[in-house]
Amino acid sequence: MKRWRTAALHIILFILAVAGFLIVYVRAGLTREKSDKVELSKGWKIKVNYGASIHSSTFEDVNLDEFRFEGVERGDWFVLTSTLPDVLPENPTMMIRVPYSVTTVYVGGEEVFSYGREDYEKGLLVGAGVKFFPIPDDSAGKSVKITLFATEEQAFSNINTPIIRDETHAVSEFLQELQLPCSVALSLITAGLAIALVTFCMYFRSFSIERLFCIGVFSLCIGSWSFCSYNLNILITDNLRLKSYLEFAGLYLSTIPLLLYFREDVEKRARKWETRTYFTVLLILIQMFIITMILNFTGTFHFPRFFTVYLFILLFVVLYTAVLIWRDFRGEHKHRLLVWGVVVLLAIGLRDILGYALVWYTDIAGTQSSFHTYTAAGAFVFVVTLMADFIIEVRQKTYIEAENKLLMRIAYNDVLTGLSTRRRCEELFKEIDAGNKEFAIVQFDLNNLKRVNDALGHEKGDEMITRFADALKKVFSQQEVIGRMGGDEFIVIVPDTRGYKLDLNITKLETAVNKDNSKHEDVQVSYSCGYCYSEEIDEPTTAKVYAEADRRMYEQKEKFYRERGYGRRKNDNA
């Protein structure tokens, strides 16, 4: 297995272990202490001044858990007034869920909290989220007034109930109610950030790491979105504009790495209509994200305006992803775990989208504060199946590559000598013919191999072959290709002879063989050789140069046999 793959598998297993630890640690670490809390849900008087007209409405004795607004537009004013209970917790701290609005809170006629005015005046997004702020110790029984100036179209459909707690337990009790989403979100962010950073560093060493990188980015995006959508940002910052940026950017960007994960599968199937559809969808998503970012930061349209659209885009992408996975599953039985991951994500996603619509437009599913989404948990399951799918695919590819390497070794490497086979040499001939460099070919043939086999056995004959092959390896460097063409025939191919001294290496080979023979008295290695440069041949090709080198080798071999009285080589069969 390649080093990067081994490292990738170790990284995934480590990250999964860390994510599991985070879930257990966060759930166990949050305090379970309870303090008295006061929910200010009933007895409100609400006055609405519609910004586009002088029309206003007043609502008496409102229960915030049941009350809804319809058609809220940018510029609408909402004034909520009530009276605080006669008994409040010690060190009272109020928690309110700030919608996309400039928000001010007064207690006993004095301003105790203000948010969003500066951002709105600068044309920036006024973020939404949870805010904790202290109120005076003597606030019991005093009047409370909350003013909201809507800064976005459809900024909110209801106003969440303000809650007063003891300052000591306010934040911890809020987090305690969100133990599971907090654990899941932190695990997704930790896993995504670690995978994305590590694989980005490994990306340029292997393009195949792209899939793991996509998993990391997708996990990071969904983790950031869920972390902020549950208002868990209070763990690190109370900047609601930054929180909203991370929330929406994470959600809107998540579709791109999710789709990119399947790029390789689509390209492998090589179906024009499917490939075109895939890249068209991918291009649209990228363009939409860029346009959304530009419109937000130029102040034209802020992120919340695109939320409903992106929910349906995300649903479409998940359905489209399910189709891609199903194609692979039916065709090659791939992505078996991902099938279950998509089923879980789709089921939870559809439940949350339907529930969100019911909360926004009706009171069937309760209020926004009481409605909890589980998309993050579904995304966590999906990310885990993505990682498992990647591990399975890497292992399968590793086995296939190992098998291919073994077959290539058998096809291209001579078993006895370790030299290149005739097949490898013939492929190199084609590569040389396709180029325009000067080259040379040396042809060798062992003398007396048949006599050695007949007199001493084939083991000695094989020893003679391997000894000569070892001598060739010592003399000729990686610049040349050394091959065994079959039996006792050997070849050296020099692909580029610029500045190359072939005569010098031929002499070195003779010295190496003589030195080896001095160590063996029973079998002496003897060979004949002939070589030819391409520039010696008119319109040279490897076939012509090889034939000329072979002819010259046989001339030397005939001379060798005549000098020893063996007769002509072709009649001697030796």
Q: In percent, how much of the chain has pLDDT > 90?
A: 32
Task: Give one DSSP letter per residue of 255-318, joined into a string.
Answer: HHHHHHTTHHHHHHHT-HHHHHHHHHHHHHHHHHHHHHHHHHHTTSS-GGGGHHHHHHHHHHHH
Instruction: Write the secondary structure of 295-309 as one string of H (helix), E (strand) and C (coil).
Output: HHHCCCCCHHHHHHH
Pick the CATH number of 3-33+176-402 from 1.10.260, 2.40.128, 3.30.300, 1.20.1070: 1.20.1070
Coil/strand/helix, residue 127: coil
* Mean pLDDT, residues 173-180 taken together: 80
Give per-residue pLDDT as tens, 535-547.
Answer: 999 889 999 999 9
**Mean pLDDT of the chain, nearest integer:** 81
> Which string of b and e fits 524-539 if b means at least 16 CB within 10 Å?
bbbbbbbbbbbeeeee
Residue 34 pLDDT greater than 80, yes or no? no
Q: Which residues of 351-375 are buried (b: 16+ CB within 10 A; e: fewer)?
A: ebbebbeebbeeeebbbbbeeebbb
CA-nearest of 425, 560, 542 to 491 is: 425
Q: What is the pLDDT of residues 263-284, one digit of tens each?
A: 887 888 778 888 898 899 899 9
Distance CA 89, CA 164 (A): 7
Question: Does the structure show a pLDDT above 60 at 571?
Answer: no
Element (H, E) at 360: helix 336-361
> Where exactly are the structural domains of the chain?
3-33+176-402, 40-168, 422-572
SS (HEC) of 367-418: CCCCCCCCHHHHHHHHHHHHHHHHHHHHHHHHHHHHHHHHHHHHHHECCCCC
Average pLDDT (157-169) is: 88
Burial class (CB in 10 A: 0-12, 13-18, 19+), 132: middle
Q: Give the CATH number of domain 422-572; options: 2.60.120.620, 3.40.50.720, 3.40.50.1220, 3.30.70.270.
A: 3.30.70.270
CA 127, CA 243: separation in Å to the nearest integer? 7
8 A C-beta contact, residue 490 and residue 444 = yes
363-409 pLDDT tens trace: 554 555 555 667 777 777 777 777 777 777 767 776 667 666 766 66
Strand partners, 531: 442
Q: What is the pTM of this model?
A: 0.64
Strand partners, 83: 143
DSSP string, 164-221: EEETTTHHHHHHHTTHHHHHHHHHHHHHHHHHHHHHHHHTTT-GGGHHHHHHHHHHHH
Confidence of residue 52 (pLDDT cuts 50, 70, 90): low
Question: Positive or negative, the Cα torsion across 251, 252, 255, 257?
Answer: negative
132 strand-pairing partners = 95
Give the model confidence (pLDDT) of 431-486 as tens digits: 899 888 899 999 999 998 888 888 888 898 899 999 999 999 999 976 789 999 88
For domain 40-168, give the CATH superfamily: Galactose-binding domain-like (2.60.120.260)
- pLDDT at residue 483, rounded to an integer: 92
Per the model's pLDDT, the better-predicted residue between 117 and 349 turns out to be 117
pLDDT interval class at 214 (50, 70, 90):
confident
**Contacts with 310 (C-beta within 8 Å, 6 or more apart), sequence order:** 251, 252
User: Would you say the CATH fold of 40-168 matches that of 3-33+176-402?
Assistant: no
- The pLDDT value given to residue 53: 61
Contact 76, 156 (CB under 8 A): no
